[in-house]
Amino acid sequence: MSEKKYFVHESSYIDDNVSIGEGTKIWHFCHVQSGAQIGQKCSFGQNVNVSNNVIIGNGVKVQNNVSLYEGVELEDDVFCGPSMVFTNDMNPRAKYPKGSAGYKKTLIKKGATIGANATIVCGHTVGKWAFIAAGSVVTTDIKDYAMVMGVPARQVGWTCECGEKLQQDLDCKQCGRKYNEHKTGLIEIK
């Protein structure tokens, strides 16, 4: 039998039919459900639930007390802050469950950051390298590199791939990247 190339704390449960990439670490009291796909070099803090058929890319960091419900997809290098929330049903009723056929897809693109206690309402896409401020409630699609905050979340600026808030000239003073505005968000000038 080959040795596992990922770490799972003894207090966590991993169901059958799960794919976990090399170098991933799953800490205390987590549950990864059947059909979940987790990439390489990910980190899951305490009390994380990864539901059935969730897709997670490489290098993703999920902090404590986050549930990734069916219908959620995280691309590479996404950061989910402590106790942030995903939904997957626009109008849930305990008495009238719809099951997975009624779930709305939520896509979090490469490198996006979701702050602590933020809520992402299902059926939306958060653009690559976007930054969702702590406590925000996302109810619409978010553009690439957009910085949003509030309830509901509204764009308040742009953020660089390195995480620095960009000034009006869209040149990053921290890492030197330069951007142009586009209808989908920002595009890095190569």
Q: What is the tens place of the pLDDT at every residue in 154-189? A: 999 999 999 999 999 999 999 999 999 999 999 999
pTM as predicted:
0.97
pLDDT band with cut points at 50, 70 and 90 for residue 2:
low
Residue 113's pLDDT is 98
Q: Which residues pair with 20 in a beta bridge?
A: 38
Residue 13's pLDDT is 98
Residue 158 CB coordination number (10 Å): 24
Distance between CA atoms of residues 21 and 139, nearest Å: 31
For the segment 81-94, what is each residue's pLDDT rounded down to a tens digit?
A: 999 999 999 999 99
Contacts of residue 140, Cβ cutoff 8 Å, sequence gap at least 6: 124, 152, 153
Place of tokens 């997975």: 100
Mean predicted confidence (pLDDT) in 75-84: 99
pLDDT band with cut points at 50, 70 and 90 for residue 4:
confident
Residue 3's pLDDT is 75
Distance between CA atoms of residues 82 and 134, nearest Å: 9
Render 102-159 in DSSP notation, one character per residue. Answer: GPPPEEE-TT-EE-TT-EE-SS-EEPTT-EEPTT-EE-S-B-BTEEEETTTTEEEEEB
> Is the model's pLDDT at 1 over the cut of 60?
no
> Is the model's pLDDT at 190 over the cut of 90?
no
For the segment 10-50, what is each residue's pLDDT rounded down to a tens digit?
A: 999 999 999 999 999 999 999 999 999 999 999 999 999 99
What's the number of CA atoms in the CB half-sphere (13 Å) around residue 108? 34
For the segment 97-142, what is each residue's pLDDT rounded down to a tens digit?
A: 988 989 999 999 999 999 999 999 999 999 999 999 999 999 999 9
